[in-house]
């Protein structure tokens, strides 16, 4: 073996930074995209926000036929054009062209309200009357009120219930350790060591805090939480103590064992379990805690008068940016140093790339959403039972894209229709074979049928997994028993034995 030089020819795909960034934009949610665009607006003096306008991308289609375009081109909301010079711009080439734009308030696009009555109302009505936030001199924030936090609610009670300064400090530490669900998140021994006091004194103050509203707050586990609430209701008798100490049997619906342990009959155990279910295992959730994320749909699906479907992009989720060519020409002429000219050229390239990438992202989302609607026309028209099996490859082949592109587009994207808000990935479901030569069924549709069967059960006719398999096969669905069990467990539905115990107990309780 000797070292030698060889010349080989081959092909390879080189991912440029711009291409990598464009791919990343596809999988960003609209909130993540807005943060990204805000950062680009701050860094790039040639970029600026476009004025809002009603330019929804819209495609209509009928049944499973192809869709036709009926709206303005995507370039209307992501375009690069010459603009008149703006007030407040400064020419500071020597410092790298920073600080060129004065601060401006982000614009808010207005939705096209055509056919809005067919859409569910989310956070208000579409196209409603009675004024707007802009009519108020203080804006949107003036219509909001701060929601009382659990900590503030408990602290107010602590000030009234405890007078000793040291105990107040202990109580404040205990309240700080209570999480959003209302449970004490720090072990008492650790807190005692940290504060340098005895465990007995902390437990004494804890007993006071546990008497605060809401009932069950500051408990260390669910058993203690329920016990506090039962004491407040004067229902914590010895039989109920045994029941709370054996909550695992309640979860299993093993009422025979519970009757034996608690020493009660069928009627009493049914009444006790009903009492437990009326309690609140998370007493702190009624107060302001961490802010819940609101799902904003990226695509609107509406029924047209002719029976087709209208697919619109939500303009609120589409950042509008454009390139100020006038300003670019102005600063280019004033640039003297090579580094200034290089900086301007890089800003122009980045700005043009961003506008094109945003346009391509919008087109791709619309194309994928339109194909999903075409493939799942039965779902939008008739419901989840008509959801068809669908995979990424089917959509990718239909629109001429790669599966990975479709996967990125459907991640963290939502659509809204008359049936609610759904993540785009919801419409991709595995196929369940049909008996004979019938058409395959969607796994989601089969899961829905299983839930319907179980919801219609009676205490005298509780279906086992084998019975569900038999019924599904009678409907033309070829499915294994283990698959039924897996779907049932994914729906958090207990076994037939546990369901029978629960239904019998409920029937006896209602008979009283």
Query: What pLDDT, in 10s, does the model give residues 391-422?
Result: 899 999 999 999 999 999 998 899 999 888 88
In a domain, 359, yes or no: no
Predicted TM-score of the model (pTM): 0.53
Q: Which tokens go with 199?
A: 């465990």
In a domain, 423, yes or no: no
Of 268, 286, 304, which one is at a domain's C-terminal end?
A: 286
E-assigned strand segments in 358-500: 414-417, 420-423, 431-432, 441-442
Query: Distance (Å, rounded) from C-alpha 160 to C-alpha 369?
Result: 58
Compute the radius of gyration of the chain from its Cα atoms: 31
The CATH number covering residue 446 comes to: 1.10.10.60
Indicate the pairing of strand 414-417 with strand 299-303.
parallel
Portion of the chain with pLDDT greater than 70, in percent: 75
Query: Distance (Å, rounded) from C-alpha 24 to C-alpha 238?
Result: 61
Give the per-residue pLDDT at 125.
31
Give the per-residue pLDDT at 208.
94
Give the per-residue pLDDT at 289.
55
Dump pLDDT digits (tens) for 65-77.
333 333 333 333 3
Give the per-residue pLDDT at 148.
72
Q: Which tokens go with 305?
A: 């008068």
Yes or no: say if 479 and 487 are a contact pair by the CB < 8 Å rule.
Answer: no
Q: Which residues pair with 365 in a beta bridge?
A: none
Q: How confident is the model at residue 63 (pLDDT cuts 50, 70, 90)?
A: very low
Give the per-residue pLDDT at 511.
59
Dump pLDDT digits (tens) for 427-455.
887 766 766 666 677 788 888 889 888 98
Q: Please state, in angstroms and as integers, the Cα–Cα distance from residue 192 to each residue in 1, 23, 169, 178, following that order.
A: 73, 52, 12, 16
Q: Which tokens go with 268?
A: 């009493």
Q: Residue 149: what are its φ and ψ, rounded to 5°?
A: -85, 160
Helix/strand/coil for 468: helix
Give the per-residue pLDDT at 336.
80
In a domain, 276, yes or no: yes
Q: Please state, in angstroms and as integers, the Cα–Cα distance from residue 112 to each residue in 5, 301, 313, 315, following that order.
A: 66, 13, 10, 9
Give the per-residue pLDDT at 224.
94
| Confidence check: pLDDT of 121 > 80 | no
**182 torsion bin: left (phi>0), alpha (psi -120 to 50), beta (else):** left
| Confidence check: pLDDT of 139 > 50 | no
Residue that is written with structure tokens 């107040």 in the block: 168
Domain span at residue 254 reads 150-286
In a domain, 27, yes or no: no
Query: Distance (Å, rounded) from C-alpha 55 to C-alpha 37?
Result: 19
In a domain, 110, yes or no: no
Give the per-residue pLDDT at 493.
87
Q: How confident is the model at residue 363 (pLDDT cuts 50, 70, 90)?
A: very high
Give the per-residue pLDDT at 147.
61
Give the per-residue pLDDT at 244.
92
Query: Distance (Å, rounded) from C-alpha 336 to C-alpha 93?
Result: 9
Of 286, 303, 329, which one is at a domain's C-terminal end?
A: 286
In a domain, 96, yes or no: no
Helix/strand/coil for 299: strand
User: Count of domains in the chain?
Assistant: 2
Of 262, 286, 310, which one is at a domain's C-terminal end?
A: 286
Q: How confident is the model at residue 112 (pLDDT cuts 50, 70, 90)?
A: very low
The mean-pLDDT minimum among 135-139, 360-364, 480-484 falls in 135-139
In a domain, 270, yes or no: yes
CA 106 to chain centroid, in Å, comes to 24
Q: Which of 444, 450, 477 is nearest to 465 (CA)?
A: 450
Q: pLDDT averaged over the chain?
A: 77
Dump pLDDT digits (tens) for 454-463.
988 888 888 8
In a domain, 78, yes or no: no
Give the per-residue pLDDT at 71.
32
Q: What is the mean pLDDT of residues 141-168?
A: 78
Q: Which of 367, 361, 426 is nearest to 395 (CA)?
A: 367
The DSSP symbol for 282 reads -
Select the highest-mean-pLDDT range: 14-23, 82-91, 109-118, 319-328: 319-328
Q: What is the mean pLDDT of residues 230-243?
A: 90
| Confidence check: pLDDT of 115 > 50 | no
């Amino acid at each position: 073996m000797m070292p030698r030089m060889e010349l080989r020819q081959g092909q390879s795909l080189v991912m440029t930074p711009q291409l990598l960034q464009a791919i990343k934009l596809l999988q960003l949610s609209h909130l993540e995209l807005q943060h990204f665009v805000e950062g680009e607006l701050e860094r790039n003096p040639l970029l600026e926000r476009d004025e809002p306008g009603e330019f929804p991308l819209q495609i209509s289609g009928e049944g499973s036929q192809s869709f036709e375009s009926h709206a303005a081109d995507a370039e209307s909301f992501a375009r690069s054009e010459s603009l008149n010079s703006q007030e407040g711009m400064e020419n500071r080439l020597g410092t790298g062209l920073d600080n060129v734009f004065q601060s401006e308030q982000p614009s808010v696009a207005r939705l096209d309200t055509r056919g809005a009555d067919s859409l569910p109302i989310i956070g208000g009505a579409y196209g409603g009357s009675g004024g707007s936030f802009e009519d108020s001199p203080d804006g949107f924030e003036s219509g909001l009120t701060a929601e009382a936090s659990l900590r503030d609610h408990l602290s107010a009670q602590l000030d009234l219930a405890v007078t000793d300064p040291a105990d107040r400090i202990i109580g404040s530490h205990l309240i700080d350790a209570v999480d959003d669900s209302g449970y004490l998140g720090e072990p008492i021994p650790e807190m005692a060591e940290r504060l340098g006091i005895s465990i007995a004194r902390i437990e004494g103050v804890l007993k006071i805090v546990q008497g605060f509203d809401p009932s069950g707050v500051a408990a260390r586990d669910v058993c203690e939480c329920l016990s506090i609430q039962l004491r407040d209701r004067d229902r914590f008798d010895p039989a109920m103590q045994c029941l709370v100490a054996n909550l695992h049997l309640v979860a299993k619906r093993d009422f025979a064992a519970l009757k034996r342990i608690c020493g009660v009959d069928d009627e009493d155990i049914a009444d006790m379990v009903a009492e437990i279910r009326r309690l609140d295992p998370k007493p702190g959730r009624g107060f302001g805690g961490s802010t819940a994320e609101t799902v904003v749909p990226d695509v609107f699906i509406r029924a047209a008068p002719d029976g087709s479907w209208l697919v619109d992009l939500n303009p609120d989720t589409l950042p509008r940016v454009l390139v100020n060519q006038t300003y670019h020409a102005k600063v280019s002429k004033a640039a003297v140093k090579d580094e200034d000219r290089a900086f301007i050229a890089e800003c122009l390239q980045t700005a043009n790339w961003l506008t094109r990438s945003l346009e391509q992202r919008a087109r791709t989302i619309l194309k994928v959403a339109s194909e999903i609607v075409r493939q799942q026309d039965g779902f939008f028209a008739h419901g989840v039972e008509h959801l068809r099996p669908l995979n990424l490859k089917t959509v990718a082949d239909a629109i001429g894209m790669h599966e990975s592109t479709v996967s990125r587009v459907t991640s963290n994207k939502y659509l809204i229709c008359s049936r609610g808000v759904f993540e785009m990935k919801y419409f991709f479901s595995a196929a369940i074979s049909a008996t004979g030569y019938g058409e395959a069924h969607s796994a989601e549709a089969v899961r829905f049928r299983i839930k319907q069967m179980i919801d219609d059960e009676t205490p005298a006719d509780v279906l086992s997994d084998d019975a569900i398999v038999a019924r599904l096969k009678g409907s033309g669905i070829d499915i294994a028993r283990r698959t039924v069990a897996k779907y049932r467990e994914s729906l958090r539905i207990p076994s037939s034995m546990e369901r029978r115990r629960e239904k019998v107990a409920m029937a006896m309780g209602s008979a009283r």
